[in-house]
């Protein structure tokens, strides 16, 4: 690709200098040490660095309208380079790791961190580095393009035209004849001369050069030591994969299909939000209330109209997209101040009427999945929502999830209800990611700390539990030995830092006990209690409750359906985060409708990587199967929860629906 670009009459792309990655590594240390202490501002230092780098690159190649630099690991410095050169663009070359590792070994090209005598270690190192590079590229929408080597050499003209369009350059036939221009328009260094692929015309000879060069043991462990290989679309199940699929136009269409689908979903939600924006007409009594607050609506619109950034991978179990939006400190300050007041005006125990309501459990920073849920179940105010907590930590976009939910709650106060989870707490966020996310999202530790404190103060004001139609009790964790009457919850004063024991702690932290247990027990978490079936039945009888609905846990039995029923149908555990921490679990949202019986409609969101697990005959699994069989027998609208899950197909977030009573 460097030689191809160098052949373009408007581009000069010199050989590798190793300048950028080395210099920027040094610069990072300088900037955080003596440079700041010397009184030199960041802007002055950036100007000096960019001028120095430009001078070296310009001299190394030749002056041209477009200057190009090709160095290993440059993609790790995308944010810094974008700051130094706001108009810069990046091309990230992707290639089968097996071919990359084979090339290093055969050509004996020294690359830092790679031990050519350790095949498994080289694949693990590749996985670590390429994952970071792809992540950096995806965080530069419009400024970074990915090019698959396998497609480039099979459809060179198509890919080169795609690259020139991206660079705002006219296409040039010289780029296909780079080998003819070596020594004239194109310069090669010693390492590039050692690669026949570079000094000859574009050909497919190198596609299969790695075949039969790795041990079966290494190839059999690729999904374990280099999972990014299959995430990028490479077939790891075959020792001699068929690369012809990369030449098919469907290859890129498939990779962008989900992006397009989610853009449409977001557009629908935006349209729903803007339909009544700034309306001054009084709503009819039957219409849900809308709070016409310009500040909150502006932030809501900003989030929903922001681009979705396409991710080819799933770092730390994240979805394959995220919302690319920068939320300012002032916007968060205004929003959290409004929400603290709103939460404190609500009782600690919310009482929702018997209107249909969608119940959503743990989200853990999954912003895109929140959009999927709103789209699948219809966004407010057309639908009512109760969220059971655990909005933050472990995922990468907790700030956006929190701001989006706060905006929806403030704008549609009678359609969105938010409970507090055990992760909406000062101690938990310090250990599980939200604190770090706040610090990393803003330019200084002081600002990030301020943002984190704003959210913590707001969390301390949130309601702790809810009833629906006076028949369903909802809390993030469950019940407590200190909970004798529901009025005990309303006696809890807020703002509240969750204590290490007592009623507020148990509402957020307690768990159901194993089926063979009875009474109360100490929790394995080291905090709160477990409650057995007899305790649940006693609580329901004393408070005229038919069902306890909670989140907080992901059991193995929940992987297929996202929920599990226990204790004779009195307790339902729900989990709404998809592929949580790479567990490959499906997730679920429940819609409750009230009549002579409580009807539960379930929307199950499928994980692309879900693989059926062998379920033990636990009470929960039997209860769930029995509930589904019973609803079929009663000719309800149950359609078969999990139908088709065992086929490896479907895009992340597709859903099936079912109903039982």
Q: Please check the confidence at residue 63 and state whether its pLDDT lies above 70.
A: no
Per residue, the 3-state secondary structure of 169-229, as one string, reads CCCCHHHHHHHHHECCCECCCHHHHCCHHHHCCCCCHHHHCCCCCCCHHHHHCHHHHCCHH
How far apart, in whole angstroms, are the C-alpha atoms of residue 263 and residue 245? 26
Q: Please check the confidence at residue 452 and state whether its pLDDT lies above 90.
A: yes
Contact criterion met (CB below 8 Å) for 457 and 486:
no
Contact criterion met (CB below 8 Å) for 150 and 94:
no
Q: What is the pLDDT of residue 190?
A: 60
Q: What is the pLDDT of residue 276?
A: 34
Q: Please check the confidence at residue 651 and state whether its pLDDT lies above 70.
A: no
Q: Please check the confidence at residue 609 and state whether its pLDDT lies above 50.
A: yes
Q: Please check the confidence at residue 628 and state whether its pLDDT lies above 70.
A: no
Query: Which position has the higher pLDDT, 235 or 356?
Result: 356
How far apart, in whole angstroms, are the C-alpha atoms of residue 453 and residue 8? 53
How far apart, in whole angstroms, are the C-alpha atoms of residue 108 and residue 101? 10
Q: Please check the confidence at residue 329 and state whether its pLDDT lies above 60.
A: yes
Range scoring the smallest mean pLDDT among 144-153, 385-394, 403-412: 144-153
Domains 2-248 and 255-660 share a fold: no
Q: What is the pLDDT of residue 641?
A: 30
**Share of residues in the chain with pLDDT > 90 (%):** 37
Q: Give mean pLDDT, residues 381-386.
A: 92
Q: What is the pLDDT of residue 109?
A: 64
CATH 3.30.160.100 fits 255-660, yes or no: no
Q: What is the pLDDT of residue 279?
A: 28
Nearest 10 degrees: Cα torsion 107, 128, 370, 308: -40
Q: Please check the confidence at residue 640 and state whether its pLDDT lies above 60.
A: no
- The tens digit of pLDDT for each residue in 26-42 reads 766 554 556 666 766 77
How far apart, in whole angstroms, are the C-alpha atoms of residue 282 and residue 287? 10
Q: What is the pLDDT of residue 412?
A: 93
The structural domains of the chain, with segments of one domain joined by +, span: 2-248, 255-660
Range scoring the smallest mean pLDDT among 27-36, 186-195, 518-527, 593-602: 27-36
Q: Report residue 629's pLDDT band, with 50, 70 and 90 as the boundaries.
A: very low
Class of domain 2-248: alpha beta
Q: What is the pLDDT of residue 194?
A: 54
Q: Please check the confidence at residue 648 and state whether its pLDDT lies above 60.
A: no
Query: Which position has the higher pLDDT, 292 or 597?
Result: 597
Q: Write the DSSP symbol of residue 417.
A: E
Range scoring the smallest mean pLDDT among 54-58, 241-245, 281-285, 622-626: 281-285
Range scoring the smallest mean pLDDT among 302-316, 395-409, 617-631: 617-631
The H or E element spanning position 473 is: strand 472-475
16 as an active site residue: the answer is yes
Q: Write the DSSP symbol of residue 284.
A: P
Q: Please check the confidence at residue 389 and state whether its pLDDT lies above 60.
A: yes
Q: Give mean pLDDT, residues 338-342.
A: 97
Q: Please check the confidence at residue 603 and state whether its pLDDT lies above 50.
A: yes
Q: Report residue 164's pLDDT band, with 50, 70 and 90 as the boundaries.
A: very high
Q: Give mean pLDDT, residues 11-40.
A: 68
2, with CB counted inside 10 A (0-12, 13-18, 19+), is buried
For the chain, what is the mean pLDDT?
80
Q: Please check the confidence at residue 499 and state whether its pLDDT lies above 90.
A: yes
* Residue whose C-alpha is closest to residue 93's, from 3, 172, 10: 3
Nearby residues of 268 by Cβ (< 8 Å), 6 or more positions away = 375, 379
How far apart, in whole angstroms, are the C-alpha atoms of residue 96 and residue 613? 30
Q: Report residue 225's pLDDT band, with 50, 70 and 90 as the boundaries.
A: confident
Range scoring the smallest mean pLDDT among 156-170, 267-281, 294-308: 267-281
Q: Please check the confidence at residue 410 and state whether its pLDDT lies above 80.
A: yes
Range scoring the smallest mean pLDDT among 14-23, 40-49, 538-547: 14-23
Q: Which two tokens stand for residue 350?
A: 């919310």
Nearby residues of 47 by Cβ (< 8 Å), 6 or more positions away = none
Q: Which two tokens stand for residue 206?
A: 């190198």
Q: Please check the confidence at residue 627 and state whether its pLDDT lies above 50.
A: no
Strand partners, 182: 186
User: Is 136 in a helix, a strand, or coil?
Assistant: helix
Neighbours of 614 (CB within 10 A): 5
| Catalytic residue (choose from 16, 457, 537, 661) | 16
Q: What is the pLDDT of residue 62?
A: 60
Tell me the Ramachandran region of residue 553: left when phi exceeds 0, alpha when psi lies from -120 to 50, beta otherwise.
beta
Q: Write the DSSP symbol of residue 466.
A: E
The H or E element spanning position 28 is: helix 19-31
Q: Which of 124-138, 463-477, 598-612 has the highest mean pLDDT?
A: 463-477
Q: What is the pLDDT of residue 408?
A: 95
Q: Give mean pLDDT, residues 183-199.
A: 65
Strand partners, 530: 511, 521
Q: Which of 4-13, 83-92, 446-455 has the highest mean pLDDT?
A: 446-455
């Amino acid at each position: 690709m460097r030689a191809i670009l160098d052949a373009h009459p408007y581009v000069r792309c010199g050989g590798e200098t190793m300048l950028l990655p080395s210099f920027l590594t040094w610069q990072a240390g300088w900037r955080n040490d003596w440079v700041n202490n010397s009184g030199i501002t960041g802007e002055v230092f950036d100007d000096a660095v960019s001028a120095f780098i430009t001078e070296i690159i310009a001299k190394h190649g030749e002056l041209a309208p477009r200057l190009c630099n090709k160095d290993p690991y440059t993609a790790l410095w995308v944010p810094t380079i974008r700051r130094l050169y706001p108009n810069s663009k990046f091309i990230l070359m992707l290639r089968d790791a097996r071919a990359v590792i084979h090339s290093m070994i055969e050509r004996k090209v020294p690359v830092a961190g790679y031990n050519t005598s350790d095949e498994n270690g080289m694949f693990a190192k590749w996985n670590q580095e390429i994952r970071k590079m792809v992540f950096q590229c995806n965080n530069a929408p419009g400024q970074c393009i990915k090019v698959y080597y396998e497609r480039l050499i099979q459809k060179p003209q198509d890919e080169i035209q795609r690259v020139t369009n991206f660079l705002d350059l006219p296409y040039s036939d010289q780029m296909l004849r780079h080998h003819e221009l070596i020594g004239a328009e194109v310069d090669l260094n010693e390492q590039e001369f050692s690669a026949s692929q570079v000094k000859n015309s574009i050909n497919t000879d190198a596609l299969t050069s790695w075949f039969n060069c790795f041990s079966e043991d290494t190839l059999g462990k690729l999904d374990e030591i280099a999972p990014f290989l299959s995430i990028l679309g490479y077939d790891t199940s075959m020792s001699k994969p068929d690369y012809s699929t990369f030449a098919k136009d469907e290859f890129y269409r498939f990779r962008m299909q989900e992006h397009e689908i989610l853009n449409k979903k977001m557009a629908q939600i935006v349209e729903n939000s803007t339909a009544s924006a700034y309306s001054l007409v009084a709503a009819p009594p039957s219409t849900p209330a809308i709070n016409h607050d310009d500040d909150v609506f502006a932030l809501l619109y900003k989030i929903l109209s922001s681009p979705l950034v396409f991710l080819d991978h799933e770092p730390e179990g994240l979805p394959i997209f995220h919302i690319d939006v920068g939320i300012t400190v002032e916007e968060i300050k205004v929003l959290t101040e409004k929400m603290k007041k709103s939460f404190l005006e609500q009782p600690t125990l919310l009482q929702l009427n018997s209107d249909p309501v969608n119940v959503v459990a743990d989200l853990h920073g999954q912003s895109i999945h929140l959009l999927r849920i709103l789209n699948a179940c219809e966004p407010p105010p057309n639908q009512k929502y109760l969220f059971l907590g655990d909005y933050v930590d472990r995922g990468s976009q907790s700030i956006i999830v929190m701001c989006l939910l706060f905006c929806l709650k403030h704008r549609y106060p009678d359609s969105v209800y938010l409970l507090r989870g055990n992760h909406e707490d000062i101690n938990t966020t310090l250990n599980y990611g939200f604190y770090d996310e706040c610090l990393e999202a803003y330019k200084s530790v002081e600002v990030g700390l301020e943002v984190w404190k704003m959210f913590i103060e707001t969390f301390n004001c949130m309601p702790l539990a809810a009833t629906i139609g006076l028949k369903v009790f909802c809390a993030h964790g469950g019940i407590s030995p200190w909970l004798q009457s529901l009025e005990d919850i309303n006696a809890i004063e807020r703002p509240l830092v969750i204590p290490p024991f007592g009623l507020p702690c148990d509402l957020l932290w307690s768990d159901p006990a194993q089926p063979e247990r009875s009474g109360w027990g100490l929790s394995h978490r080291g905090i709160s209690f477990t409650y057995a079936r007899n305790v649940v039945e006693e609580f329901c009888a004393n408070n005229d409750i038919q069902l306890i609905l909670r989140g907080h846990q992901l059991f193995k039995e929940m992987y297929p359906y996202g929920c599990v029923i226990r204790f004779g149908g009195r307790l339902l555990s729900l989990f709404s985060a998809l592929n949580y921490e790479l567990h490959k679990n499906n997730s679920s949202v429940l819609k409750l409708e009230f009549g002579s019986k409580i009807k539960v409609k379930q929307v199950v969101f499928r994980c692309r990587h879900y693989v059926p697990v062998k379920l033990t005959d636990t009470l929960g699994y039997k209860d769930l199967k029995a509930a589904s069989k019973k609803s079929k027998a009663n000719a309800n609208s149950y359609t078969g929860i999990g139908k088709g899950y065992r086929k490896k197909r479907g895009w992340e977030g597709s859903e099936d629906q079912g109903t039982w009573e």
